[in-house]
Amino acid sequence: MKNTKLRPDPAKNDFESIVSILEWNLAAWPTGKLNRAVDNDNYTCQSSPNDYGQGVYSTTHFRVECKSFL
């Protein structure tokens, strides 16, 4: 997981924020590839309340869409 803190940009009306990237090292995966039947899951990101209001909460469902032919 990689997190990058972004500075606010008033010209674009952007607040300070965080970009989070979740990466897989498939070489370290038990089978060396993703399995459409079992490697699906939910990932959640949550921030704390701050001076601008309540924190935010977001969940993404990761689903393997294609089959590896390797």
Task: Please give the radius of gyration of the chain, using alpha carbons only, rounded to the nearest integer.
Answer: 17
Calculate mean pLDDT across residues 28-47. 86
52 closest CA partner among 15, 6, 9: 15
The answer on pLDDT for 57 being more than 80 is yes
Contacts of 47-53 with C-beta under 8 Å, sequence gap 24+, read 47/18, 52/15
- Confidence (pTM): 0.49
Calculate mean pLDDT across residues 38-63. 88
